[in-house]
Amino acid sequence: MNYQSVYFIGIGGIGMSAIARYYLQRGLAVGGYDKTPTPLTRDLEREGALIHYVDDVHAIPSAFLDETSTLVVYTPAVPAEHTELQHFLSHHFDVQKRAQVLGSLTRSHRGLCVAGTHGKTTTSSMTAHLLHQSHVDCNAFLGGITKNYGTNYILAPESDYVVIEADEFDRSFHWLAPFATVITATDPDHLDIYGTVDAYLESFRHYTELIQPGGYLIIHEGLKMKPNPVAGVTTYTYNRTSGDFHAENLRIGDGEIIFDFISPIESIKDISLGVPVGINIENGIAAMALAQLAGLTPDEIRTGMASFRGVDRRFDFHVKTPSRAYLSDYAHHPEEIRQSIQSIREVYPGRRIVGIFQPHLYTRTRDFYREFADALSLLDEVILTEIYPARELPIEGITSQIIIDHLRPGVPHRLIRKADVLDVVRSTDFDVLITLGAGDLDNYAGQIAEIVEEKVKR
């Protein structure tokens, strides 16, 4: 069907907004609903999207009320009883999940997809940057705002490649048909959706069956799931220091990370990370593997890696001076937090590192409070705010206190109200401060940076 308009329910989501921009740039009418205005929705409105913030069928612009010419896209985070969603379903519009739309793009392009519990956004953004600055170019739909481009979307009509972050939430990545995919990690998550660890791992196994014949699977060594790609798919492994793709001759110091990229396709000496933190060594190895499969030259890869500037809220430095640093990180899974803290320790050995963590979801806190406590215990001081509920209602007995109760003995800790975070930053001594979580604590990042900068001046 040739659509003239696309309506998004949940248009302000990071993944939804990327698709909205795709259709805006193709000249279609774009509109949608979201719960609250954000900088992202305001940007979309400036770009031409018609957006409203109340769930009301009468608020839908008339351009989106013809079922023969309007595609409706929704995010699984929207409740099933949403009034506008029910209206479109009952009036026989073509209603698709965000992942279905992305899946169609992997069938019309060569999809380079990045799946995994953590590392998806940075690895896919790094891959997109490598391709976009090369002779190959790409389209890209990303789960974060790239610092190189100030957007979560890249359009390249002449390129046959599309880079997609393959999200396992609600089994969304089962709509995709990758040409090549990376799987970064399969640490259990979203157990409110999957129910069991086995079901979570089975979901990834099924995802590997969707790789197109003649395509590629690049999988992190040591994952607990067993891939099952179809005949004709080539499987490679990667890791920091082992696997088909890995790093050698690693040099860390003076704010730089340089290594040799070892590859069965062609090894490349002296790769310099544009965002020099330990966690980006593996992210970079995976991204470079995808880039080589897409045909990039060694010089293009070396230049792209050095010029990558990172992603908002992914190991995102707001203050970086010799005496103090402040960064924010989207890490909201125990293993993500562990890797983030370990990466900071690698860059800042012997320094006092304090973390402020806002847990995300009651169910995730219930399922992983022991693992959260163990990872956070790597900090010199742990500060927790109340849980960010997102789509959930409270669960009796599940608060941030349950994490504090399971910290390792002797780890300094505090439980604070989010509203008090600025005062807490003012009164806390640290060399490095990191705010962690996928909630709204990052709304304070600018003010926290100002406080840290004042501390630097003292």
* pLDDT 10s digits, 316-335: 889 989 899 999 998 888 98
Mean predicted lDDT score pLDDT of the chain: 94
Q: Is the pLDDT of residue 427 over 80?
A: yes
**How many other CB atoms sit within 10 Å of the CB of residue 251?**
12
**How many other CB atoms sit within 10 Å of the CB of residue 306?**
13
**Residue 391 vs residue 124, higher pLDDT:** 124
State the greatest distance between any 2 C-alpha atoms of the chain, in Å, as a whole number: 64
C-alpha distances in Å from residue 401, one per residue of 140, 239, 372, 453 = 40, 36, 12, 31
Q: What are phi and psi of 390, to 5 degrees?
A: 50, -115
- 4-28 pLDDT, tens per residue? 999 999 999 888 998 999 999 889 9
Query: What is the pLDDT at residue 34?
Result: 96
| Architecture of the domain whose range is 5-96 | 3-Layer(aba) Sandwich (3.40)
Q: Provide CATH code, domain 109-307.
A: 3.40.1190.10
**Rounded mean pLDDT, 374-386:** 98
Which residue(s) pair with 174 in the sheet?
A: none
User: If residue 390 lies in a helix (H) or strand (E), which one and from where to where?
Assistant: none
One-letter amino acid of 336: E
Q: For residue 181, how far is the Cα from the chain centroid?
A: 16
Q: Rounded distance, CA 47 to CA 152, Å?
A: 14
What is the DSSP secondary-structure string of 142-205? EEEEETTTTEEEE--TT-SEEEEEE--GGGGGGG---SEEEE-------HHHH-SHHHHHHHHH
Query: What is the pLDDT at residue 2?
Result: 83
- CA angle centred on 332, ends 163 and 261, rounded to 5°: 45
Q: Which residues contact 21 (CB under 8 A, 6 or more apart)?
A: 44, 47, 151, 152, 153, 155
**Residue 322 vs residue 401, higher pLDDT:** 401
Q: Is the pLDDT of residue 91 over 80?
A: yes
**Rounded mean pLDDT, 69-85:** 93
Please give the DSSP secondary-structure letter assigned to residue 312. Answer: T
**Rounded mean pLDDT, 168-196:** 90
Please give the DSSP secondary-structure letter assigned to residue 235. Answer: E
Q: Rounded distance, CA 169 to CA 76, Å?
A: 9
Q: Rounded distance, CA 88 to CA 218, Å?
A: 39
**Rounded mean pLDDT, 291-306:** 98
Q: Which of 161-170, 299-308, 395-404 is the least confident region?
A: 161-170
**Rounded mean pLDDT, 75-79:** 86
- Domain spans, the chain: 5-96, 109-307, 316-457
Query: What is the pLDDT at residue 346?
Result: 84
**Rounded mean pLDDT, 284-288:** 98
Query: What is the pLDDT at residue 163?
Result: 97
Same fold, 5-96 and 109-307: no
Locate 433 and state its tokens: 């401060």
- 102-116 pLDDT, tens per residue? 999 899 999 999 999
Cross-sheet strand order for the sheet of 432-436:
316-320, 325-329, 432-436, 353-357, 381-384, 413-415
Q: Is the pLDDT of residue 1 over 70?
A: no
Fold (CATH) for 316-457: Protein-Tyrosine Phosphatase; Chain A (3.90.190)
What is the per-residue burial (b if ≥16 Cβ within 10 Å, else e) of 416-443?
Answer: eebeebeebbeebebebbbbbbbbebbe
Q: Ramachandran region of residue 279, left (φ > 0), alpha (ψ -120 to 50) or beta?
A: alpha
Closest by alpha carbon to 291, among 184, 164, 178, 136?
A: 136
Locate 8 and state its tokens: 């998004």
